[in-house]
Structure 1
Amino acid sequence: MAVANKRSTMALFSDPSDHYCHRVRIVLAEKGVTVDVIDVQNGKYPEEMLEANPYGTTPTLLDRELNLYNANVMMEYLDERFPHPPLLPVYPVARANSRQLVQRIERDWCRLADIILAAKSKPAEVTAARKELRESLIGVSPIFAEMPFFMSEEFSLVDCCLIPILWRLPLLDIELPRQAKPLQEYMERMFAREAVQASLSKFERDLR
């Protein structure tokens, strides 16, 4: 059972190298939320976080009496708690499509990134995952020429999930070819976004 949060301000326990934590930090920055971001690394978990999160995982968000420890739940909560600017469409069909895109990003791209980044992954697994991720990104690149954001006219939670993976391409040892120009232009626009810059940890800044 979650322990009541004693903090007077919102707190995010965040691994500065983790892309799931990064997506939550982007949402917080987009919303302009005042939050204490507490870096958690190398398995050194503060007692306050362990009391709030029975799984001892990051990200962990504390907001008054509420404790959250799933990145996607956090993002949707923050979008509802701080409605401006909205990061999910208003209409149910469009919202469902956005949620489904988030799930596809996780299954198709986050899964592969996790394999590449995992210390326990075998070299053959890493090579295969890197090849699959690179080819998949190249394959969808033309889509990014159709709209200013990922399959949307507005910046959304979908972009918040995708940007951390794209930011980590150097870490993943993936270089995009010239034919992926629409995706590269999308990356340039997103990386220059004020909230994305504000969301970066020192670890992430050092990647680029």
Structure 2
Amino acid sequence: MSMTLYSDAVDHYSHAVRIVVAEKDIGVDLVTDSLSKPSAKILEMSPYGDLPVFADRDLVLYQPLIIMEYLDERFPHPPLMPVYPTLRALNRQWVYRVRRDWSQLVDLIQAPSSSDAEKEHGRMRLRESLMSASPIFEEKPFFMSDEFTLVDCCIASILWRLGTIGIQISKTRSPALAQYAKRLFERPSFQQSLTPQEREFPSGFVS
């Protein structure tokens, strides 16, 4: 059995994993499935019916961060996690904060069960949180690092979706964040990771 990544075409968690695959130039069979209506195959492989799902022979992984770290360890070049334990722990903590502070708001905004008021409140919180974090991106080319890491993979998949979830951020008011996003989006691996649907997403950064 070859390595297979089952991925939703527009889900930001699936996209983050696809960025890792592209960054490391890993040869995987990419199978598109639906997060809203998972196939019987996904329901068989994942007890929660979630995507993405990664299969490597008899190994099946169905949590995006676990998949990303597994790929980084199995295919160590280029590394997407620091070598030293202290820095690796900090990197994991930053990923946790991105998931808790930003990813969960994206999920809230996109959830069919969320009310209009909840979605608008989520947009306001996410916009303000991203803009307040803009000074962080003045210090280094990537998130708290001179090197592209798993944290950037997670953030890139969120920033690419801002326009689709009704968020606009001024390049003038948040220039460091806008430049950071531009660096991420121009990476060949990022462009390679995009699905046809994602290529049609409107930008969330405006002049």
TM-score by length of structure 2 reads 0.94
Q: What's the secondary structure of 2:30's corresponding residue?
A: strand
Partner of 2:55: 62
| Contact 2:35–2:50 (Cα < 8 Å) also in 1 | no
Q: What's the secondary structure of 2:78's corresponding residue?
A: coil
| Contact 2:35–2:51 (Cα < 8 Å) also in 1 | no
Amino acid paired to 1:163: A
Match 1:191 to one of 176, 179, 185: 185
In the TM superposition, what is the alpha-carbon distance from 1:201 to its structure 2 partner? 0.9
1:53-94 residue CA offsets vs partner (Å, 9 max, x unmatched): 222211100001100000000000000000000000000110
Match 2:3 to one of 6, 10, 17: 10
1:80-113 residue CA offsets vs partner (Å, 9 max, x unmatched): 0000000000001100000000000011001111
Match 1:25 to one of 5, 18, 36: 18
| Contact 2:127–2:169 (Cα < 8 Å) also in 1 | yes
Match 2:174 to one of 180, 194, 201: 180
Amino acid paired to 2:103: C
Amino acid paired to 2:182: E
Partner of 2:65: 72
Partner of 2:45: 52
What CA RMSD, in Å, does the superposition of the two structures yield over aligned residues? 1.1
Partner of 2:90: 97
In the TM superposition, what is the alpha-carbon distance from 1:35 to its structure 2 partner? 0.7
TM-score by length of structure 1 reads 0.93
In structure 1, runs of 5+ residues without a counterpart are 1-6
Query: What does 1:155-170 align with in structure 2 at a 5 Å threshold?
Result: 155-170=148-163
Q: Across the two proteins, how many residue pairs are aligned to each other?
A: 201
Alpha-carbon spacing, 1:187–1:42, altered in 2? closer, same or farther (3 Å): closer
| Contact 2:105–2:126 (Cα < 8 Å) also in 1 | yes
